[in-house]
A and B are shown apart, each in its own frame.
Chain A
């Protein structure tokens, strides 16, 4: 948090010191965007229960707030997913049809000054992949309409907090300085994330900036995960050994007083 405040203060100072081109009749010059994130690595430790990152930015050559919108998108790594639909067969619910998707992110968070549908037309949003409805994964090997399955995938991720749209969640600290808080829940996948900040002026993107964000496990968690996948035999034997040892210790400990 301290770091964020420091960077914000520096940005702010830079704006006060620089002569404003807007004031000197340079309205022809386009607005520009500078943005940053409070931390570029999220480390998953044994006590990790989710965290927040702060995305902040400044608009250079800021013009009127009227018709101006900011959209922040944080996108996790794409993951192949399988969505299944249950149907009732002989009284019990059984998985029947399935659709397999590629190109759906494991995490998607959107913060904006307004609901995205009011910021820009659908085609513009789709071009930049802005908004949950513009997530258009490719359906692999399905023999039926993948749309309800795609909707179900989005619904599932929203329910577990991995997808969210949060309009109206961008705070302006001044005419040109803004920030927003992005929740990163406990269930996030490891990998490279991307933080994208878009500046819209009357429904058009006039400036955009993208910053990578890494989510990674550290210390013991990382070693255990790696061991489970790279040396599964020793890992399995370690589990068995631990169970037998603890069982033996407890029987020795409890035998004396009993």
Chain B
């Protein structure tokens, strides 16, 4: 049941890894997210070096986003212009993230930066989602329909370099999509995520894209970003393990399909509430590891710093 990972230079139980891929794939299919934020910490927990975990999880996200994107593409619900513009910022962000990743690794602060970024991102996104889903559940019970909070778009409208996005029926500046792409690209390289949980809210609340194109466009964006980051991680950090990726992806794509079916049976607010709880739990677990005294305050890494 053991299989040797050539890049991580260790052996793992392949059944456990496939099960992990399936589980995360199931959750990502159910909630419509890439699942990178769950996969990276889980891999680190099973003993995979965090550099390999971050770089290899990306392939899992590419694969599970692929099937979702295909379904949206059949429905013609992808704004290719918007995805292209965002990708422009995304590529620069990815390059920056991979550079930062290599720098932090030399400084010995990689684990800290990954954990801190995770705690901050998961903590804030989790709290926002929890409040939002509880509010809409309460509203649903009392029979009142709440419209989502109006966001002041004044400053976004005032920005220059406007462009027409036909599919989204928008005429806005290209600066906000490029900026969002940059942030997500950088986080993708540092955290090993696709960034769906940032792109989707940003598209809805900041760019005011119609919800029917949000899912497909964000998935296409995620596929492109994770694919580019995988190649960059492979060329600059030699941290992608293709055997580990193959195992995760095989489990993940099956899990994702099952998850989509399970998710269809639940209401949107309930799904978001569950996802919020999951996000907060992972964030709290990582925060705990940062503050609790380590078993050995010394740690070792091979090679020169």
Among A98, A187, A247, contact of B253 (Cβ-Cβ < 8 Å) = A247
Contacts of A100 in B (CB 8 A): 304-305
B230, A239: Cβ atoms under 8 Å?
A: yes
Name B167-215 residues within 8 Å CB distance of A: none
Nearest chain A CB to B192 CB, angstrom units: 13
In whole angstroms, what is the CA distance A82 to B302 when docked?
6
Bound together, the chains give a CA A224 to CA B62 distance in angstroms of: 21
Interface string of A44-64 (1 = CB under 8 A from B): 111111000000000000000
- Nearest B residue (CB) for A240: B227
B44 at the binding interface (Cβ < 8 Å): no
Q: Which of A10-18, A83-91, A172-180 contacts B (4 or more CB under 8 A)?
A: A83-91
Q: Which residues of B contact A153 (CB under 8 A)?
A: 298, 300
Known: A91-B291, A186-B4. A244 touches B242 (CB 8 A): no
Q: Which residues of chain A in 238-258 are interfacial with respect to chain B, using CB atoms and an 8 Å cutoff? A: 238-240, 242-244, 246-251, 254, 258
Q: Which stretch from A123-131, A197-205, A228-236 is at the chain B interface?
A: A228-236
Cβ of A155 under 8 Å from chain B: yes
Q: How far is the CB of B89 from chain A (nearest CB, A)?
A: 20
- Which of B64-72, B78-86, B126-134, B154-162 lies at the interface with chain A? B64-72
Instruction: State A258–B11 Cα separation when bound (angstroms).
Output: 37
Residues of B close to A235: CB separation below 8 A: 234, 240, 242
**Partner of B62 from A85, A98, A247, A250 at Cβ < 8 Å:** A247
Q: Which residues of B contact A254 (CB under 8 A)?
A: 67, 257
Contacts of A186 in B (CB 8 A): 2, 4, 10-11
Q: Would you call B238 and A232 a contact (CB within 8 A)? A: yes
CA distance A184 to B55 in the complex (A): 29
B74 CB to closest chain A CB (Å) equals 9
- Complex CA–CA separation, A237 to B235 (angstroms): 10
Question: Are A224 and B243 within 8 A (Cβ)?
Answer: yes
B9 close to A187 (CB less than 8 A): yes
Q: Is the interface of A mostly helix, strand, loop or mixed?
A: helix
The answer to the question of B54 belonging to the interface, with a C-beta cut-off of 8 Å to chain A, is: no
Please, how many angstroms separate the alpha-carbon atoms of A80 and B300 in the complex?
Answer: 11
Query: A239 contacts B71, CB within 8 Å?
Result: no
Residue from B227, B243, B298 within 8 A of A156 (CB atoms): B298
Contact A248 B66 (CB under 8 A): yes
Give Cα distance in the complex from A38 to B11, angstroms.
24
Interface string of B100-130 (1 = CB under 8 A from A): 0000000011011000100000000000000
A187-B9, A243-B66, A247-B65 known; A81 and B59 CB under 8 Å? no
Chain A 164-199 interface 0/1 with B at a Cβ cutoff of 8 Å (1 = within): 000000000000000000000011010000000000
CA distance A249 to B235 in the complex (A): 27
A94 touches B112 (CB 8 A): yes
Q: A94-B112, A224-B242, A228-B238 are in contact. Are A244 and B301 (CB under 8 A)?
A: no
Q: Which residues of A contact B (CB under 8 A)?
A: 44-49, 79-88, 91-95, 98, 100, 148-149, 152-153, 155-157, 159, 186-187, 189, 217, 220-222, 224-225, 228-229, 232-233, 235-240, 242-244, 246-251, 254, 258
Residues in B lying within 8 Å of A, measured CB to CB: 2-4, 6-7, 9-11, 59-60, 62-67, 70-71, 108-109, 111-112, 116, 223, 227, 230-235, 238, 240, 242-243, 245-246, 249-250, 253-254, 256-257, 261, 290-291, 293-294, 296-305
Known pairs A46-B3, A81-B300, A254-B257 / 10 extra A-B pairs, C-beta < 8 Å: A47-B3, A80-B302, A84-B299, A239-B240, A243-B60, A243-B227, A244-B62, A247-B253, A250-B67, A251-B70
What are the nearest 9 A-B pairs in CB distance? A247-B66, A236-B234, A152-B298, A251-B67, A250-B253, A236-B231, A247-B63, A243-B62, A243-B63
